[in-house]
Amino acid sequence: MSDDLHGALARLQEGRLSAADALAHNVEVLRSESCRHAFIRDFVPQAQAAAAAADALAAAGVPRAPLGGLAVSVKDLFDVAGQPTTAGSRVLADAAPAAADCPAVARLRRAGAALIGQTNMTEFAFSGLGLNPHHGTPLNPVTAKLDGMARIPGGSSSGAAVSVAAGAAWAALGSDTGGSIRIPAALQGLVGFKNTARLTPIAGTIPLSPSLDTACAITRSVRDAVLLHEILADRQVRLTGRPLRARRLAVSRPVFQDGMDTTVAAAFERTLAALRAAGVQIEEIPLAPLVGLQPYRVSMVAAEAWAWHRPHLATKEAQYDPRVARRIREGESIGGAELLARIAARRAWIDAMEAELQGFDAVLSPTVPTVAPLLQPLLDSDEAYYAANGQMLRNTSVVNALDGCAISLPCHVDGELPVGLMAWSTAGQDDSVLDIALQIESLLASKAVH
């Protein structure tokens, strides 16, 4: 694959590309119509300096850092030294510049990233659609080329995904509390890896739900996802290369496959058929514990969000996106005793799910049940907005509630609107999920499924 981060790094090493030249193209894209509303603020001069410094060190014989001076974008949720962190809001418009990089950003910078800018997002990360009434909603650049329609980018890491899909960045730092990395990745034909939350630091970020928030990345390939995870988690991924035929995979029709549109259903079934034809064992399981998950999952996010936003809502509610404020206020009525009971219920639910998944290497499901919805109906109707938001988050948020890990990778045919395949498992199975995803990606490419 020549258009992913690994391909660019190889060209750097071979002397066929400089970080400065690569960045010049990224900047051109950043300033083009395809990235309209994708960035809240750019760091072009700083990125140019970082790329030039990386090239100078390489010319002096110093080995390039893992990211080689190439462009990486940062969601406007993470502290970047000298820049305000506003979470896509007007509420924090007067925030002071961050005194230091948050740990995730510091790790990217140490790895040689040329940080190109902070990306747009759903205000305070509280939606899976990616709409933002304050800074504008970036349109899905991949679907626009296919059908010319204005479709949502997915969220909450909307600008993050657009920056990668359009070509302004090679990878994007984002967050995933209920699917905010995997949803936009699926809707834009990208790869989004949500690691086990505790593996990556979320210090120096504006929280949505600290119990569920995860710092992770959107990339153009699974091998890039492995690299970014190694950098962000400061750990080495162990890939055994155990063949897919030796894996035990599962699918579950209830919940995960409900309401699939024809494009997603066709892509998902075609992918399962290709895997089975290659000798992969895939078993259908009911996953009974999924019944009853929704109430305490929603209440935890709302309650934790309410605790952080309460003082801001008291004085600045008029500056909030009304749809976001409404969702945060759902946590106002949840008392401490009730929240503790819901946390205990979640722990029991995780235990039940882990028991059901014992012996399986991963579960396969559609990342989201539909292709990217049209934007205008969601702008026009609260009812359509909330229905679509619930639909987008339904599959992905199961993994967050599970405290698990998951990756979304493309599984559509060229010419189709993007569809994501999600491979997921329980906490700590990150390396196995990445290993499986690498092999699925390779198989789909060889079979021309994607």
> Which residue reads 């619930």 in tokens?
390
Alpha helices in 245-356 (DSSP H): 262-277, 294-316, 322-329, 336-356
Element (H or E) spanning 226, and its range?
helix 222-233
CB within 8 Å of 449: residues ≥ 6 apart: 270, 271, 274, 411, 413, 443
Write out the DSSP string of 199-229: GS--TTB--S-TTT--EEEEESSHHHHHHHH
Q: Which residues pair with 422 in a beta bridge?
A: 365, 408
The question of whether 75 is a catalytic residue gets the answer: yes
Indicate the SS3 state at residue 199: helix
The question of whether 145 is a catalytic residue gets the answer: no
Contact 183, 150 (CB under 8 A): no
Alpha-carbon distance of 179 to 125, in angstroms, equals 10
Q: Is the peptide bond before 425 cis (omega within 30 degrees of 0)?
A: no
User: Of 245, 259, 249, which Cα lies nearest the Cα of 284?
Assistant: 249
Q: Tell me phi and psi for residue 169, to 5 degrees.
A: -145, 155
Return the DSSP state at 157: S
Among 34, 156, 157, 397, which one carries the catalytic annotation? 156
Contact 191, 408 (CB under 8 A): yes
Return the DSSP state at 365: E
CB within 8 Å of 127: residues ≥ 6 apart: 155, 156, 323, 324, 327, 389
Alpha-carbon distance of 379 to 260, in angstroms, equals 23
Alpha-carbon distance of 35 to 362, in angstroms, equals 35
Among 34, 89, 163, 180, which one carries the catalytic annotation? 180
Among 73, 75, 163, 194, which one carries the catalytic annotation? 75
Give the strand order in the sheet containing 71-75: 39-42, 114-119, 71-75, 171-175, 215-219, 191-194, 405-410, 420-425, 362-366, 248-251, 281-284
Indicate the SS3 state at residue 24: helix
The question of whether 432 is a catalytic residue gets the answer: no
Alpha-carbon distance of 206 to 378, in angstroms, equals 26
Structure tokens at 4: 């992913």
Active site residues: 75, 156, 180
